[in-house]
């Protein structure tokens, strides 16, 4: 009597899984999301392993940095034990995974605060800069790429291609320093590159973490102007560099579409040229452009470490720079996991947008 219910439960469990899987497979979008989330989880597991062991072999002893240059061996060993560095690497990794499963990225060895709290505080600053740079990138690259494709082989095309080549070749740190020298030191147009607000101006009430938006929500126009004044130069510096590959991609995609038969037919039957370019051609060219846009936006969030450092922008880029400088391994690992998650989510959103932009693409 006591074994029958258990046996029945065991017999029913495979059928329940089969029923669940059949339900998932009957909906293409749900099936696609389920499969992509599984791949994303496997990717994150791989990133956790690689990030942990690569950061563990970085030169230098974090305990020595924390103890200071005048510390003796006894004090260094004390910090090593406190930080868990005296245990085997496999044991350290096991503890890290257990804490990670609990949503704990570890403790910053410099501030003694949870890493996830510090990343959460600094992420809005990086996101605000990245979004502003992305909007500026689209405003630059879309019209230039379309013009280069429409006037292919002309002086306009050559000038735009020269701009794209220069933008792809210039070093970001050099460009940031040149912009500061010109716009702040020489022309006095931009404010000093010191954080997100002028010293003495209070931060607006925290709603989104974006100073420009929060100041508008609070009705503080002066703070909004000051935040925007600090934002435009680093955003344009980033946009100038990343708009180069975007311009090339838009030009190539538009040239490919403009050579299609349906474009020739549309022109032959008298469809307005502006509609052909801005509606028919641009929509069909947007699939590769969308892919590049996702890569560019991920770079603007993850790769603006140099710009944040040069402009003293208090985002996660400057945070990881300071963490690397003092071998704060938990902070570096937390940064890597955050950026990996951002890239994975971006790829998922882009794949879902494919079918909305081009109905010929099906998720299954």
Residue 166 sits in a domain whose CATH number is: 1.10.3720.10
Other C-beta atoms lying within 10 Å of the C-beta of residue 246: 25
Structural domain includes residue 184: yes
Q: Work out the average pLDDT over 280-291.
A: 83
pTM of this structure: 0.85
| Residues 66 and 182 both lie in one domain | no
| Residues 72 and 149 both lie in one domain | no
CA of residue 121 relative to chain centroid, distance: 16
Structural domain includes residue 289: yes
Among candidate residues 94, 71, 66, 70, the one with its CA nearest the CA of residue 329: 66
- DSSP states along 165-209: HHHHHS-HHHHHHHHIIIIIIIS--SPPSSSSS-TTPPPPP-SSS
Residue 247 to residue 140: CA distance in whole angstroms: 8
- DSSP states along 71-102: --HHHHHHHHHHHTTTS-HHHHHHHHHHHHHT
The answer to whether the beta carbons of residues 281 and 254 sit under 8 Å apart is yes
| Residues 204 and 139 both lie in one domain | yes
| Residues 171 and 268 both lie in one domain | yes
Structural domain includes residue 211: yes
| Residues 222 and 320 both lie in one domain | yes
The answer to whether the beta carbons of residues 321 and 332 sit under 8 Å apart is no
Task: Number of helices (H) and strands (E) in the chain: give both, helices first.
Answer: 16, 0
| Residues 182 and 299 both lie in one domain | yes
Residue 287 to residue 270: CA distance in whole angstroms: 26
| Residues 169 and 261 both lie in one domain | yes
| Residues 298 and 170 both lie in one domain | yes
Please write the tens of the pLDDT for every residue from 298-351: 888 776 888 999 999 999 999 999 898 888 889 999 999 998 888 888 888 887
| Residues 61 and 151 both lie in one domain | no
| Residues 136 and 265 both lie in one domain | yes
Please write the tens of the pLDDT for every residue from 57-110: 877 778 887 777 777 888 888 888 888 888 888 898 998 999 898 889 988 888
Please write the tens of the pLDDT for every residue from 2-53: 444 454 444 455 566 656 666 666 666 677 777 778 888 898 899 999 989 9
Q: Work out the average pLDDT over 258-284.
A: 87
| Residues 61 and 133 both lie in one domain | no
Structural domain includes residue 254: yes
Structural domain includes residue 101: no
Among candidate residues 321, 304, 306, 300, the one with its CA nearest the CA of residue 137: 300
Number of folded domains that form the chain = 2
Structural domain includes residue 87: no
The answer to whether the beta carbons of residues 165 and 244 sit under 8 Å apart is yes
Structural domain includes residue 55: yes
| Residues 180 and 267 both lie in one domain | yes
Please write the tens of the pLDDT for every residue from 194-229: 889 998 899 999 999 999 999 999 999 999 999 999
Q: Work out the average pLDDT over 257-285.
A: 87
Structural domain includes residue 360: no
pLDDT given at position 304: 80
DSSP 3-state of 234:
helix
Query: Which residue range(s) make up the domain with 26?
Result: 3-80
Q: Is the pLDDT of residue 363 over 70?
A: no
pLDDT class of 1 with cuts at 50, 70, 90: very low
């Amino acid at each position: 009597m006591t074994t029958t219910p258990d046996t029945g439960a065991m017999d029913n469990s495979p059928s329940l899984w089969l029923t669940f899987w059949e339900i998932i497979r009957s909906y293409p979008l749900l099936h696609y999301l389920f499969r992509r989330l599984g791949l994303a989880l496997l990717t994150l597991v791989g990133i956790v392993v690689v990030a942990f062991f690569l950061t563990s072999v970085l030169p230098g002893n974090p305990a020595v940095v924390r103890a200071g240059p005048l510390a003796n061996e006894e004090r260094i060993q004390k910090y090593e034990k406190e930080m868990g560095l005296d245990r085997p690497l496999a044991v350290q990794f096991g503890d890290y995974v257990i804490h990670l499963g609990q949503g704990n990225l570890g403790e910053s060895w410099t501030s003694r605060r949870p890493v996830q709290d510090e990343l959460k505080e600094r992420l809005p600053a990086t996101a605000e800069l990245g979004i502003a740079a992305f909007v500026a990138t689209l405003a630059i690259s879309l019209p230039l790429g379309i013009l280069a494709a429409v006037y292919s082989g002309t002086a306009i095309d050559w000038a735009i291609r020269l701009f794209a080549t220069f933008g792809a070749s210039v070093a970001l740190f050099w460009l940031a320093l040149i912009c500061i020298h010109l716009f702040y030191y020489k022309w006095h147009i931009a404010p000093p590159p010191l954080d997100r607000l002028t010293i003495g101006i209070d931060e607006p009430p925290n709603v989104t973490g974006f100073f420009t938006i929060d100041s508008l929500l609070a009705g503080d126009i002066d703070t909004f102007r000051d935040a925007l004044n600090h934002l435009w130069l680093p955003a344009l510096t980033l946009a100038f560099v990343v708009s180069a590959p975007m311009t090339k991609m838009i030009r190539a995609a538009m040239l490919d579409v403009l050579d299609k038969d349906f474009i020739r037919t549309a022109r032959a039957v008298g469809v307005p040229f502006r509609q052909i370019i801005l509606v028919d051609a641009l929509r069909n060219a947007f699939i590769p452009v969308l892919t590049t846009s996702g890569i560019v936006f991920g770079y603007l969030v993850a790769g603006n470490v140099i710009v944040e450092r040069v402009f003293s922008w208090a985002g996660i880029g400057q945070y990881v720079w300071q963490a690397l400088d003092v071998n704060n391994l938990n902070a570096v690992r937390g940064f890597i996991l955050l950026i990996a998650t951002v890239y994975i989510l971006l790829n998922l959103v882009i794949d879902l947008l494919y079918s909305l932009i081009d109905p010929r693409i099906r998720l299954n």
